[in-house]
Amino acid sequence: MSIGSLINLKKIEDRRGNLTVVEQFSDIPFEVKRVFWTYDIPSGVWRGGHAHRTLQQMIVAISGSFDVHLDNGKEKEIVHLNHPYQGLLIPPMTWDCIKDFAGGSVCLVMTSEYFDESDYIRNYREFLKEAKK
């Protein structure tokens, strides 16, 4: 059983280059309320390292590659992202940590909610307690 869902997004191929589209409720099962991306990540640095109580997110490797470590409190998995036409859907109450960025990687994140600090669980032990409820 997978924690996150890897979704193949629409890939429109053209001799001039490719185009990928994401539409809410069609390609992504939620209304997109926030979009951000990380880039110029120094070697050996990781991002994430938290869980969300209610927020869902989709992560896409727009450029380059990286590994997304997922943990739902019962099982763990690592998903390697390296295609800009694939998105990793991460449900609420999933601890995620993004590591091993290749040089030049760009990580795009689309979320179901606006930023709300109270939705974050930043302590792993606290996450494990809440995940067992």
* Cα 70–chain centre separation: 10
Catalytic residue among 50, 52, 80, 83: 50
In this structure, the strands spanning 34-39 and 86-90 are unpaired
Give the C-alpha separation, 20 to 13, whole Å: 9
Instruction: Name the token pair of 123.
Output: 């302590």
- 52 among known catalytic residues: no
What does DSSP say about strands 120-121 and 47-52: parallel, antiparallel, or unpaired? antiparallel
Dig out the tokens for 70 from the structure. Answer: 């997922």
CA angle 53, 22, 121 (to 5 degrees): 15
- Residues marked as catalytic: 50
